[in-house]
């Protein structure tokens, strides 16, 4: 696995879709039966490899398994079968700002969120000014984040995560955060990370952006890999399938 940063080997993941669900033990006894549910397989025997320093995009319709696969890579979800091996320090931008405490100031949340993402206090101290400058919320950094607009909140969360300097970066639909100026800043940061040899996996519906950013794309449909290859080839096949339906 010398040159492989991420190896996904025959991974399958299911969820339960409840039709009738007992909310308590009392409910189960009163109704006289267990909860009724169907199994939904979000991923079915998925295998991919991501070489070190490559940027890979995951494409597909809503419900195709893209975000589920990313969450399995981030160890937020665990598969029913198969395995995922990863090399190096990991940062996942799946729900930007999810580690923030609304009552704390932006400053305190930078330290809180940074520590959750694996940074030491010394690292955060060294990068604090860069984080604040990148976010564009310096004027409000000592205000409680509950008073931030949604855009400010997301920009600060993104800025913390992007400064972790990971070996592997997982990104789910956060390329469209903030206004146009901030999006351009984000795009520049991703170019910098690629230049530094970071391994990046991105989920996005912005096919044009993925075509420009990624070395390869993986097309998922109904939890299964349909195609892995050059961005323009995969996008053409994906769009062709969409038009054929």
Tokens of 221: 């449909």
Give residue-wise pLDDT tens across range 135-164: 999 999 999 999 998 788 888 888 888 888
Burial class (CB in 10 A: 0-12, 13-18, 19+), 87: middle
Check if the beta carbon of residue 33 is closer than 8 Å to that of residue 56.
Answer: no
Q: Give the predicted TM-score (pTM) of the model.
A: 0.81
Maximum CA extent, the chain: 62
Give residue-wise pLDDT tens across range 28-42: 555 555 656 678 899
Nearest to 100 by CA among 112, 118, 92: 112
Q: What is the mean pLDDT of residues 20-30?
A: 56
Identify the band that residue 18 occupies on the pLDDT scale cut at 50, 70 and 90.
Answer: low
Mean per-residue pLDDT over the chain, rounded: 86
The continuous run of DSSP H or E covering 237 comes out as: helix 231-244
The CATH code of the domain that includes 124 is 3.40.50.300
27 has pLDDT over 80: no
Query: Total domain count for the chain?
Result: 1
Range of the domain at 230: 4-244
d(CA 35, CA 63) in angstroms, rounded, equals: 24
- pLDDT value at residue 29: 55
Dihedral angle sign, alpha carbons of residues 224, 12, 58, 37: positive
Give the CA distances from residue 155 to residues 92, 189, 207, in Å, rounded to whole numbers and listed in that order.
15, 13, 22
DSSP 69-117: HHHHHTTSS--SEEEEEE-S-EEEESSTTTT--TTSBHHHHHHHHHHHT
């Amino acid at each position: 696995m010398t040159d492989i940063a991420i190896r996904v080997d025959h991974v399958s993941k299911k969820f339960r879709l409840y039709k009738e669900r007992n909310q308590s033990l009392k409910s189960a006894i009163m109704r006289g039966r267990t909860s009724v549910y169907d199994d939904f397989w979000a991923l079915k025997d998925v295998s991919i490899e991501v070489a070190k320093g490559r940027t890979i995009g995951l494409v597909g319709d809503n419900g195709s398994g893209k975000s589920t696969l990313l969450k399995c890579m981030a160890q937020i979800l665990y598969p029913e079968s198969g395995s995922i091996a990863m090399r190096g320090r990991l940062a996942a931008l799946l729900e930007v700002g999810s580690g923030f405490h609304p009552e704390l100031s932006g400053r305190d949340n930078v330290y809180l969120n940074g520590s959750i993402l694996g940074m030491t206090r010394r690292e955060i101290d060294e990068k604090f000014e860069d984080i604040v400058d990148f976010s564009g919320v310096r004027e409000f950094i000592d205000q409680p984040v509950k008073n931030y607009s949604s855009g400010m909140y997301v920009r600060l969360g993104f800025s913390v995560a992007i400064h972790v300097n990971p070996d592997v970066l997982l990104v789910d639909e956060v390329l469209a955060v903030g206004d146009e100026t901030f999006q351009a800043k984000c795009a520049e940061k991703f170019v910098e990370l690629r230049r530094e040899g970071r391994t990046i996996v991105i989920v996005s519906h912005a096919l044009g952006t993925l075509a420009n950013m990624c070395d390869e794309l993986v097309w998922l449909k109904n939890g299964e890999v349909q195609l892995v290859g050059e961005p323009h080839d995969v996008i053409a096949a994906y769009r062709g399938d969409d038009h054929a339906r």
